[in-house]
């Protein structure tokens, strides 16, 4: 039943419902992506679980999000349950063995897993604009902020770096507009307010260092099993945009960092994108196009992407057509929209003369699905009604203590726990402002001394003639030192033009570093995240 180079999904049924043959996913075509669809409660998560198990056993690392918390059991040994045993017997899975899997838990908020962070510089303006649902004008300003930062060596690590950058831009909107195009104060203000909202939603935890190293998601155990990275996403789902953007960022990181490998005999990583509709909901056309591009190109980097969602219509056609391996659980077909979804799903399969796909989709039982995978030469197999195998790991969640234990024993325990706050735009701009303020004070002091000397020398040359506004009152200088009553502090023009403002100084030094760093500006990839190794 378990074959080399293939992952056992379940067993198909004949027209009379008796079991037919094993259905497999060929590891050689597993990087041709996949789709798991079906209504709530029809068995999508369990299917994801058995696929993750199969990949892990084949030495392929897996990334998946745990949207409802019910996937965490994959880290624990399976437990005897009547209905699981029954399914195993029906499909001839003998022996049905229990197994626990090497899991690394991740969590943007750091509660249910190791912290996952990235820097704003690494994420880039395209995804950030999406995350903050920006208008075109705001996105324009954000692009300029990244351009100035990228060119000028101002690293944007966290949200306060971007805030500092935006304040700086607000102070120089005029000068910047002449160089970069319209930098409106209004858009800057809007972005700054959105950043505060983002912060309140807890997103600031996600931006900073130490940033996630992709290699930590691609581990294998000493006995050759692929690590399963499980992202705790229950809390994250309250901020669907952050969830979608995060997964997209991860995908683009993989894409930018991994080398080309062509079509390997098994994937280097399999990425499950659960609740995939959140990625595409209201997504601007340009983003959908980029996602389509990444999905198409990431295949030759040996990464298989599997979208999990209720309805195949949730995934844009251009992406859908690239998903070669399909597992369709039951869908209802009452409303016209539902009927359309079932029709779409039915039509994408290579037909089976034994049954009508449309009808079959509406009649599938729980844990049963229409399955078609890519076979030799990459041709889709004839669709089969398939009883999905029961998992070897636990069905349902881990207990808190068990999760803690897994985290303590994880190969990345302690690596991502503490925040690191290295010198970045916020500190650099602040330091520049402070330096500029000091320089300004120094300059003023000198000017004052010069003035005083001048006064003094005048007294020498014109004895007896005092300043017209001179009086005998005591006077104090800037530092509170008492001045001689005869030498009143001279009137000075406190003109804005002579005085170099703090911001001006910061601006100048930013411009200097722009000039000095031309030619080593950062390079961004398809989804705007940073290209590495350049
Ligand atoms: N392959 C399967 N074998 C046995 N039981 C299954 C299988 N798939 C699903 N089930 C049962 O159906 C329930 C719901 O499945 P689940 O995967 O959570 O649905 P979904 O993710 O589509 O909402 C599971 O808790 C389990 O009891
Ligand atoms: Mg589910």
Rounded distance from Cα 234 to ligand 2 centre (Å): 12
pLDDT band per the 50, 70, 90 thresholds, residue 281? confident
Q: Is the pLDDT of residue 141 over 70?
A: yes
Rounded distance from Cα 494 to ligand 2 centre (Å): 68
| Best CA proximity match to 377, nearest among 21, 26, 12, 24 | 26
403 contact partners, CB below 8 Å, separation of at least 6: 72, 75, 105, 112
Cβ 105 vs Cβ 71: under 8 Å: no
Query: Of the ranges 10-24, 100-114, 201-215, 391-405, which one carries the lowest mean pLDDT score?
Result: 201-215
Distance CA 420, CA 207 (A): 11
Query: Of the ranges 90-99, 133-142, 243-252, which one carries the lowest mean pLDDT score?
Result: 243-252
Rounded distance from Cα 86 to ligand 1 centre (Å): 14
Cβ 352 vs Cβ 384: under 8 Å: yes
Helix (H, G, I), strand (E, B) or coil at 502: helix
- Report residues near ion ligand 2: CB below 5 Å: 44-45
Who has greater pLDDT, 296 or 507?
A: 296
87 contact partners, CB below 8 Å, separation of at least 6: 93, 367, 387, 389, 390
pLDDT at 329: 98
pLDDT at 532: 59
Distance CA 52, CA 103 (A): 11
| pLDDT per position as a tens digit, 420-464 | 777 777 777 778 778 888 888 888 888 888 877 766 655 444 333
> Which of the ligands is closest to the CA of residue 44?
1
pLDDT at 1: 53
Who has greater pLDDT, 238 or 29?
A: 29
Rounded distance from Cα 369 to ligand 2 centre (Å): 14
Cβ 527 vs Cβ 252: under 8 Å: yes
Nearest atom in ligand 1 to 389's CA: 1
What angle in degrees, to the nearest 10, is found between the helix axes of 173-180 and 159-171? 90
pLDDT at 136: 92
Query: Which residues are registered as beta bridge partners of 420?
Result: 209
| pLDDT per position as a tens digit, 283-319 | 888 888 888 999 999 999 999 999 999 999 999 999 9
341 contact partners, CB below 8 Å, separation of at least 6: 311, 312, 313, 331, 333
Q: Is the pLDDT of residue 47 over 70?
A: yes
Mean pLDDT, range 127-153, rounded to an integer: 90
> Which of the ligands is closest to the CA of residue 395?
1
| pLDDT per position as a tens digit, 340-369 | 999 999 999 999 999 999 999 999 999 999
Domains of the chain: 6-117+209-408 (3.40.50.300)
Average per-residue pLDDT in the chain? Answer: 85
Distance CA 226, CA 28 (A): 16
Q: Is the pLDDT of residue 498 over 70?
A: no
Measured over all CA atoms, what is the biggest interatomic distance in the chain, rounded to whole angstroms? 123
Mean pLDDT, range 28-41, rounded to an integer: 97
Distance CA 455, CA 452 (A): 5
Rounded distance from Cα 44 to ligand 2 centre (Å): 5
Query: Of the ranges 5-14, 90-99, 489-498, which one carries the lowest mean pLDDT score?
Result: 489-498
Cβ 253 vs Cβ 124: under 8 Å: no
Q: Structure pTM?
A: 0.82
Nearest CA to ligand 1 atom 7: 367
Rounded distance from Cα 40 to ligand 2 centre (Å): 7
CB neighbour burial string for 267-306, b if at least 16 within 10 angstroms, e if fewer: bbbbbbbbbbbbbbeebeeebbebbbebbeebbebbbbbb
3-state secondary structure 443-479: HHHHHHHHHHHHHHHHHHHCCCCCCCCCCCCCEECCC
Who has greater pLDDT, 522 or 421?
A: 421
Distance CA 408, CA 316 (A): 40
Nearest atom in ligand 1 to 38's CA: 22
Distance CA 193, CA 191 (A): 5
> Which of the ligands is closest to the CA of residue 78?
1
> Which of the ligands is closest to the CA of residue 65?
2
Rounded distance from Cα 160 to ligand 2 centre (Å): 37
Rounded distance from Cα 107 to ligand 1 centre (Å): 24
Cβ 367 vs Cβ 383: under 8 Å: no
Nearest CA to ligand 1 atom 5: 367
pLDDT at 456: 61
Q: List pocket residues of ligand 1, CB cut-off 6 Å.
A: 38, 40-46, 70, 83-84, 87, 366-367, 388, 390, 395
Proportion of the chain above pLDDT 90, given as a percent: 57
Give the mutation target among 43, 50, 307, 371 for probing the ligand 1 site: most ligand atoms within 8 A of CB: 43
| pLDDT per position as a tens digit, 364-413 | 999 999 999 999 889 999 999 999 999 999 999 999 999 999 999 999 99
Q: Is the pLDDT of residue 138 over 70?
A: yes
């Amino acid at each position: 039943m378990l074959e080399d180079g293939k992952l056992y999904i379940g067993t198909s049924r004949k027209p009379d419902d008796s079991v037919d043959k094993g259905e497999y996913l060929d590891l050689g075509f597993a990087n041709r992506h996949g789709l798991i669809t079906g209504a709530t409660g029809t068995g999508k998560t369990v299917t994801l679980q058995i696929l993750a198990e199969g990949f892990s056993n084949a030495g392929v690392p897996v990334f998946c999000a745990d949207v409802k918390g019910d996937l965490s059991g994959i880290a624990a040994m399976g437990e005897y349950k009547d209905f699981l045993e029954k399914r195993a017997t029906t499909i001839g899975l003998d022996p049905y063995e229990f197994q626990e899997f090497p899991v690394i838990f991740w969590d943007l908020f750091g509660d249910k897993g190791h912290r996952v962070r990235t820097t704003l510089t690494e994420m880039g303006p395209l995804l950030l604009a999406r995350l903050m649902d920006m208008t075109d004008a705001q996105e324009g300003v954000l692009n300029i902020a990244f351009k100035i930062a990228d060119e000028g060596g101002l690293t944007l690590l966290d949200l306060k770096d971007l805030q500092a950058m935006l304040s700086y831009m607000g102070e120089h909107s005029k000068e910047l507009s002449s160089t970069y195009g319209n930098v409106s104060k209004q858009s800057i203000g809007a972005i700054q307010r959105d950043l505060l909202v983002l912060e309140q939603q807890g997103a600031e935890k996600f931006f900073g260092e130490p940033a996630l190293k992709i290699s930590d998601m691609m581990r294998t155990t000493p006995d050759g099993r692929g690590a399963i990275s499980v992202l705790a996403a229950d809390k994250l789902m309250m901020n669907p945009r952050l969830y979608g953007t995060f997964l997209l960022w991860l995908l683009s990181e993989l894409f930018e960092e991994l080398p080309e490998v062509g079509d390997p005999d098994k994937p280097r990583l399999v990425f499950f994108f659960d609740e995939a509709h959140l990625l595409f909901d209201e997504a601007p056309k340009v983003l959908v196009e980029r996602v389509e591009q990444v999905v198409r190109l990431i295949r030759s980097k040996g990464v298989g992407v599997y979208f999990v969602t209720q309805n195949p219509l949730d995934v844009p056609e251009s992406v859908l057509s690239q998903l070669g391996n399909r597992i369709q659980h039951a869908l209802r077909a009452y409303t016209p929209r539902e009927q359309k979804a079932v029709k779409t799903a039915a039509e994408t399969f290579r037909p089976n003369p034994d049954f009508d796909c449309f009808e079959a989709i509406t009649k599938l039982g729980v844990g049963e699905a229409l399955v078609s995978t890519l076979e030799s030469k990459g041709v889709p197999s004839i669709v089969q009604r398939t009883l999905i195998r029961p998992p070897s790991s636990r069905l349902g969640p881990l207990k808190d203590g068990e999760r803690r234990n897994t985290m303590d024993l994880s190969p990345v325990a302690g690596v991502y726990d503490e925040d690191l706050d290295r010198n970045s735009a916020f500190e650099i701009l602040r330091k520049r402002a402070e330096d500029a303020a000091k320089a300004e004070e120094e300059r003023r002091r000198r000017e004052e001394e010069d003035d005083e000397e001048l006064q003094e020398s005048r007294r020498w040359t014109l004895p007896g003639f005092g300043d017209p506004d001179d009086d005998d009152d005591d006077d104090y200088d800037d530092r509170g030192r008492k001045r001689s009553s005869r030498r009143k502090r001279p009137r000075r023009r406190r003109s804005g033009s002579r005085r170099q403002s703090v911001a001006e100084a910061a601006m100048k030094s930013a411009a200097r570093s722009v000039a000095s760093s031309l030619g080593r500006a950062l390079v961004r990839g398809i989804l705007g995240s940073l290209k590495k190794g350049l």
